[in-house]
Structure 1
Amino acid sequence: MSDVIFREAVRGDLPAVIALLADDVLGRTRDFTEVDAAYEKAFADIDADPRNQLIVADADGELLGCMQLTYIPGLGRHGAERQLIEAVRVRSDLRGRGVGRQMITWAVDQARQRGCALAQLTTDKT
């Protein structure tokens, strides 16, 4: 596998990101595989919000994974900002090969650079 870079998703990445979201047992029950108006709107909203980032793991133009990072201001911890990591997906044929670990490490490094007091990862029960 080539070196992985992490970057903000662009509109052209949307079909691959949608496919990643639907590429697991739980995702198949709640996400679609085709880009529709709801996905287009959600992408535009994320892209326009400076506190949200849709990040892709890219190796030579091939998307290996994705995640959404949201930065949340708060009064707790003396006005600390926190990072929320969600919608983490790794392509099914690459799971167990360290891509997810690289993604989370990169995300936490971004939180540190931004001065966040903590990073939170959301998961589902199943």
Structure 2
Amino acid sequence: MIFRMATREDLPAVLALLADEDRVVDPASIVVDEAQERAFAAIGADARNEMLVLTDDDGAAVLGCLQLTYIPGLGQNGRDRALVEAVRIRADRRGGGLGAELMKLAADRARERGCGLVQLTSNKRRTAAHRFYERLGFARSHEGFKLHLES
């Protein structure tokens, strides 16, 4: 497996992973819109954001992805924290350890950057994902809240 920063060519595959976590979506069927292009470019241009992919050995197929955002703060003795978002492993490749490997590599990146904490949120309906994160050592320490803003 290859773990690397996502490139523009990976964007349809990443969006396919995010489109439906229960089935494999063909990246060729994904139409990338202008807002997604802007968001991907902004992630790439921001030194505190990384969109990472896990590919097969030849790099041709994106099997997983996640976004890491490094957040400065006064807590944790002034150490950054890493926020993990958009974690996905392709539906037909789950259960083989790829997700654990992806999360381990993300934690290693955060540790290398001096982060004192890795955090994430997960939809309350994703009970299998919650068991997965707990197996990796994540603790349910806080209750999360979100406010969707209408434009």
Cα shift at 1:96: 1.1
Identity %: 57
Matches within 5 A, 1:39-78: 39-59=36-56, 60-61=58-59, 62-78=61-77
Cα RMSD after superposing both structures: 1.6
Give the alignment partner of residue 5 of structure 1, picking from 2, 6, 18.
Answer: 2
Regions of 4+ moved over 2 Å: none
Distance apart, 1:23 and its partner CA: 2.2
For the Cα contact (< 8 Å) 2:83–2:118, is it kept in 1?
A: yes
The equivalences for 1:1-126 within 5 A come to 4-24=1-21, 33-59=30-56, 60-61=58-59, 62-126=61-125
The alignment's TM-score, normalised by the length of structure 1, stands at: 0.88
SS in structure 2 opposite 1:56?
strand
Q: Tell me if the contact between 1:23 and 1:91 (Cα under 8 Å) persists in the aligned partners.
A: no
Q: Which residue of 1 aligns with 2:131?
A: none
TM-score (norm. length: structure 2): 0.74
SS in 2 for 1:18: helix
1:84, CA displacement in angstroms?
A: 0.6
* Greater relative contact order (CA < 8 Å, ≥ 6 in sequence): 1
Deviations 1:15-66 (Å, cap 9, x if unpaired)? 11110101225xx9xxx94211111010011010000000000111211100
Distance 1:23 1:70 in 2: 23
**Structure 1 SS opposite 2:62:** strand
Unaligned stretches of 5+ in structure 1?
none
Residue in 1 that maps onto 2:146 = none
Structure 2 spans left out of the alignment, 5+ residues: 126-151
Answer whether contact 1:85 1:120 (CA < 8 A) is retained.
yes
Paired AA for residue 82 in structure 1: R
Distance in 2 between residues matched to 1:54 and 1:120, nearest whole Å: 16
More strand by share: 1
The structure whose Rg is larger is: 2
Q: Deviations over 1:50-103 (max 9, x none)?
A: 000000001112111000000000011221100011100000100111110000
